[in-house]
Amino acid sequence: MDETEFAELTEQHRRELRVHCYRFLGSLDEAEDLVQETFLRAWRGREQYAGRASVRAWLYKIATNACLDFLDRTPRVVPSVDLPVASGSHLAPRPAAAVPWLQPAPDDLLDAAIARETVELAFLAALQYLSPRQRAVLILRDVVGWSAKETAAALETTPASVSSSLQRARAELKEQLPARRTEWRVESSSEERAVVSRYIAAITAADDTAIAAVLSDDVRCSHQPGAGGHDGPEPTWYGGLATVLEGWAPVLHGPVSMELRMRPTRANGGPAVATYLRHDGRFHAFGLNALSIDGDRVTEVTTFVPAVFPSFGLPMEL
């Protein structure tokens, strides 16, 4: 097999392999590196590929083991945060921002055929709380759709071991995911755009009455370290309408006038807004807000650091 033939066989799977590695690692940057590692391993082992499985299955096996090897070399621990949950909140026990390496993904990098719930930030963050082996089993079985036998072959274990790991992984995932996640309804594009437009108009006008009207009573807001002016080592997380308004007050109503500009975009199958803050005569990237919407209200705002702007094709300055 020469390089041209190899590229014809493998390149068509690059997009879905990137999403596979992204689910596994939670980081777009690391996912891209692991896709390159996958293709490198596949090229080196091309002579051993006997065609007994599809090229897609062969690449998924290589990518999964490349991710496992990466996590073995660079183990990381998800912070154990014990933060208050807004009264009556049905959202995830921990915000996505509690996983400091989690990066949002622009929709145009995701395959349109991918089920939205498998790339939601809440799902990706919850996956990071599973052990690497449990994560591999759950993704291959419940997301990719492999049988226990196929998964066992990829991970060089037994179907019985796979079934046991899957049971534990599902139980742990249930603890991390929103209790009513299966009941979330996807808004129509027109409904969603209307809510996002109201949100942008309310924030840029610093209108507390309009902001209160577009946020749910149990809205939650979280920031990755360094996002939205928060420079501490831990994520910040607060819930409840009054608390969120108080948390936003320094930016919206501080002693120094802070003029904002906002641009709508999309991340992980849902709406997002890029926020810019005026400073020295220009608007500088301030944070990317991923929004969760239920009906006509925003129920959660997760703010990511400006470093993610380039992957969304967003300028760092306006």
Whether residue 238 is contained in a domain is answered as yes
- Distance spanning both ends of the chain, measured CA to CA: 49
| Same domain? 149 vs 169 | yes
pLDDT at 258: 77
Specify the pLDDT at position 231. 63
Cβ(79)–Cβ(225) under 8 Å? no
Are residue 55 and residue 195 in the same domain, yes or no?
no
Q: Which of 165, 182, 199 corresponds to the end of one domain? A: 182
Residue at 95 is within a domain: no
The three-point CA angle 231-261-26 to 5° equals: 50
Secondary structure letter of residue 317 according to DSSP: B
Predicted local distance difference test score (pLDDT) of residue 88: 43
pLDDT value of residue 47: 82
Q: How far apart are CA 154 and CA 58, in angstroms?
A: 9
Contacts of 44 (CB under 8 A, 6+ apart): none
Strands 297-304 and 282-294: antiparallel
Q: What share of the chain is helix, strand, coil (3-state, %, to 5)?
A: 50, 15, 30
Note the pLDDT tens digit of each residue in 250-307.
Answer: 888 877 667 899 999 999 999 999 999 998 889 999 999 999 999 999 999 999 999 9
Does residue 166 share a domain with residue 189?
A: no
Strand ranges, E, within 186-281: 215-223, 236-239, 260-267, 270-279
In a domain, 107, yes or no: no
The predicted structure's pLDDT at residue 250 = 86
**176 & 191 share domain:** no
Looking at the structure of the chain, the number of domains it has is 2
Same structural domain, 51 and 125: yes
- Looking at residue 15, its pLDDT comes to 93
Q: What is the pLDDT of residues 179-190, one digit of tens each?
A: 655 444 555 688
pLDDT the model gives residue 89 = 47
As a residue count, the chain comes to 318
Q: Is residue 93 part of a domain?
A: no
CATH, residue 148: 1.20.140.160
Segments of the chain scoring below 50 in pLDDT: 84-92, 182-184
C-alpha separations of 44 from 37, 48, 62 in Å: 11, 9, 11
Cα gap 48→133, rounded to integer Å: 25
Q: Which residue has the tokens 């490198």?
A: 40
- Shared domain for 208 and 142, answered yes or no, is no
| pLDDT at site 279 | 86
178 and 189: one domain?
Answer: no
Which pLDDT score, from 0 to 100, does residue 226 have?
A: 75
Residue 44 burial class via C-beta count within 10 angstroms: exposed 0-12, middle 13-18, buried 19 and up = exposed
Strand order in the sheet with 282-294: 236-239, 215-223, 297-304, 282-294, 270-279, 260-267
In a domain, 256, yes or no: yes
Please indicate, yes or no, if residue 91 is contained in any of the structural domains.
no
**Residue 74 maps to a domain:** yes
Domain that includes residue 192, residue range: 185-312
Question: Which pLDDT belongs to residue 5?
Answer: 85
d(CA 140, CA 157): 14
The kind and range of the H/E element at 54 are none
Domain's final residue, options 182, 197, 218: 182
Note whether residue 317 is domain-resident.
no
Q: What is the CATH number of the domain that holds 233?
A: 3.10.450.50
Nearest to 266 by CA among 104, 29, 112: 104
Q: What is the pLDDT of residue 225?
A: 80
Shared domain check, 213 and 274: yes
